[in-house]
Chain A
């Protein structure tokens, strides 16, 4: 079988970055929010504003790792009729509409099991996705799903947290592909005022284990946060603050997202 190595689109995007630049921005969108058909225009906005990649959050009824903002958007998206099957179609539609940045769906393990991991990965790959993030599938449980993802040429992007011990970190880094998602806080998703000191420590600990790119996420919301991260990581993810901005101007979701992402990138 000749599938591309996992996450080549990610590798290319990270390789194209200049080393001393601001971290690349990776926005998180809840697919199907604010309207079922919002996903493609939002992904286009991410690309046009110069984001490095995008996470496509596919909602789950019981999102344990998410704070109130992303929960709320997920509940709305589910009411709009969002499913994994529709998300796969929207990723394909985004590719057809000219979106070339790397795309990483993010969802919880139960919807993936219901779809069937092999079918889901095959469909994601065919649609043009590049990787997968599953916040309730830690290293100890990830084995089968990760193998299926890799077999289909998808990166399996692990999360590491400030509480992750040294020996776990080495283990997780050894299995990682695409990039390592570093959780900036001991907590769930949600915008926060200041960057925690434990975030920078975690980034250094990850660098000591692996040459893979690092993305920091959870709690980021301002251009100043990105400035503070210059030289500390290769990418930064933003979710709740972006969803908040979209919520404030739902009639023009893509415009609101673009304005917010530009302000994060350029101050």
Chain B
């Protein structure tokens, strides 16, 4: 195995399984990433944008009423929902678009599921003056009509994708095909810690600010670390962003939450780490929902941002090593957690984040009142209001 491939490995996961046309572009991206991330001027520019424009650092909120009603450990929320555009996705989009400017790329493409990553990328392109094209499954455009309109207001072109299941997986295929065709002048801003090397590493680096801030804040306030951090896992970017700062702290439990959809045994879910087998999708080897013939399965989740058959390769490694644990929450669990947080804390969470809230509450129950459980509240729920209203629990 060449060193390029070895660098992009997380144990036996990761790699760069892409058409030859893209290999030189990935090598260029890796070199540019390494240079930018060791350049103090670039890091200072990124920090300024994150502070002045995006609103970092995000606060941590003690969910007092939720903790009291739930019983057990104190639940704290890392408020990525308060970041500009309403989700953690802007950390990654701003960093990647700044990198694209540095690389001299004039055209930006992205895929989106819930629309939050598309919105974040369209926003970064608006404020940095780049052309933006967002691929989105037609089914997701229906579910997330508000975000589609916002992206268009921001000047992005939203291209509907009808192939396959017309959701995030298919939008990602289409974005990669665009990149294969326009690779010379285009940067592909991938939306999660997935894809071929160097993307999982790049996205982790840009999202680790979530966990770095959380770690510093809990140390400052309590002089200790949380006993447990919890995050939802679609592709796994907010989760790896939260986990990275704590990976060396063996006493801190890392818990990722996948979408169990209509139940892990229903076959209608999006939980590759719980029920998939390793395979290759979108350029990397990782746990994957696939049938016996290696065809990728259609997933289901009430939350468009978790409705994806793959997962970032580093999560596969953390799962196998046992350093992180992966649980799941059903559509119904997530809706109940959505309503609970809204009523008890006055915070309307994204349905993705509601999956993490459900599992965090169960974990908190089993702990003592002076334990700290931190949940990554990855986004706000405005985009999900219609879905919630139409649901049986609405």
Residues of A within 8 A of B (CB): 60-65, 67, 71, 75, 78, 83-85, 108-115, 135-141, 143, 158-165, 168, 172, 183, 186-188
Q: B2 touching A140 by the CB < 8 A rule?
A: yes
Q: Which listed residue (B4, B20, B182, B294) contacts A110, Cβ 8 A?
A: B294
Q: B184 touching A186 by the CB < 8 A rule?
A: yes
Query: B295 interface residue, CB < 8 Å from A?
Result: yes
A205–B258 Cα gap in the complex (Å)?
Answer: 48
Partner-binding segment picked from B169-177, B262-270, B380-388 = B169-177
A160–B16 Cα gap in the complex (Å)?
Answer: 16
Q: Which residues of B contact A64 (CB under 8 A)?
A: 18-19, 173, 176-177, 180, 282-283
Query: B290 interface residue, CB < 8 Å from A?
Result: yes
New A-B pairs, 16, CB < 8 Å, besides A84-B294, A139-B20: A62-B169, A62-B281, A64-B18, A71-B163, A108-B280, A109-B280, A135-B20, A136-B19, A140-B4, A140-B23, A161-B19, A163-B21, A163-B23, A164-B20, A164-B24, A187-B180
The 8 closest A-B pairs by CB, nearest first: A114-B294, A111-B294, A187-B181, A161-B21, A61-B295, A61-B296, A65-B19, A110-B294
Q: A183 touching B293 by the CB < 8 A rule?
A: no
Q: Which residues of A contact B288 (CB under 8 A)?
A: 110
Q: Which residues of B contact A161 (CB under 8 A)?
A: 19-21
Q: Which listed residue (B4, B17, B164, B281) contacts A137, Cβ 8 A?
A: B17
Q: Which residues of A contact B1 (CB under 8 A)?
A: 140, 143
Q: What interface size band does chain B fall in? A: 35 or more
Minimum CB–CB distance for A133 against chain B, Å: 11
Q: Which residues of A contact B369 (CB under 8 A)?
A: none
Q: Mark B346-389, 1 if CB is under 8 A from A, else 0.
A: 00000000000000000000000000000000000000000000
Q: A61-B296, A140-B4 are in contact. Are A110 and B18 (CB under 8 A)?
A: no
Minimum CB–CB distance for A101 against chain B, Å: 26
Q: A110 touching B21 by the CB < 8 A rule?
A: no
Q: A78-B295, A111-B295 are in contact. Are A163 and B173 (CB under 8 A)?
A: no
User: In the complex, which residue of chain A has the Cβ closest to the Cβ of B17?
Assistant: A136
A64–B22 Cα gap in the complex (Å)?
Answer: 11
User: In the complex, which residue of chain B has the Cβ closest to the Cβ of A135?
Assistant: B19
Q: Which residues of A contact B292 (CB under 8 A)?
A: 114
Tally inter-chain residue pairs, CB-CB below 8 A: 124
Q: B181 touching A140 by the CB < 8 A rule?
A: no
In the assembled complex, 6 residue pairs joining A and B whose CB atoms fall closer than 8 Å, in A order, are A65-B177, A110-B281, A111-B294, A113-B294, A141-B15, A188-B180
Minimum CB–CB distance for B206 against chain A, Å: 24
Which of B5, B169, B176, B180: most chain A Cβ within 10 A?
B180
Query: B25 interface residue, CB < 8 Å from A?
Result: yes
User: In the complex, which residue of chain B has the Cβ closest to the Cβ of A160?
Assistant: B20
Q: B293 touching A163 by the CB < 8 A rule?
A: no
Query: B160 interface residue, CB < 8 Å from A?
Result: no
Q: A110-B294, A141-B5 are in contact. Are A183 and B20 (CB under 8 A)?
A: yes
Q: A136 touching B280 by the CB < 8 A rule?
A: yes
User: In the complex, which residue of chain B has the Cβ closest to the Cβ of A169?
Assistant: B20
Q: Which residues of A contact B59 (CB under 8 A)?
A: none
Q: B290 touching A183 by the CB < 8 A rule?
A: no
Q: B295 touching A60 by the CB < 8 A rule?
A: yes
Q: A164 touching B23 by the CB < 8 A rule?
A: yes
A266–B296 Cα gap in the complex (Å)?
Answer: 41
Q: A61 touching B164 by the CB < 8 A rule?
A: yes
Minimum CB–CB distance for A184 against chain B, Å: 11
Query: B63 interface residue, CB < 8 Å from A?
Result: no
Q: Which listed residue (A67, A75, A164) contacts B177, Cβ 8 A?
A: A67
User: In the complex, which residue of chain A has the Cβ closest to the Cβ of B176?
Assistant: A64
Q: Which residues of B117-167 are within 8 A (CB) of A?
A: 163-164
Q: A138 touching B19 by the CB < 8 A rule?
A: yes
Query: B71 interface residue, CB < 8 Å from A?
Result: no
Q: A186 touching B279 by the CB < 8 A rule?
A: no
Q: Which residues of A contact B22 (CB under 8 A)?
A: 163
A141–B280 Cα gap in the complex (Å)?
Answer: 12
A168–B22 Cα gap in the complex (Å)?
Answer: 12
User: In the complex, which residue of chain B has the Cβ closest to the Cβ of A171?
Assistant: B2
Q: Which residues of A contact B17 (CB under 8 A)?
A: 109, 136-138, 141
Which of B17, B18, B169, B183: most chain A Cβ within 10 A?
B17
A118–B267 Cα gap in the complex (Å)?
Answer: 30
Which of A75, A83, A85, A160: most chain B Cβ within 10 A?
A83
A23–B136 Cα gap in the complex (Å)?
Answer: 41
Q: Which residues of A contact B293 (CB under 8 A)?
A: 83-85, 111, 114-115
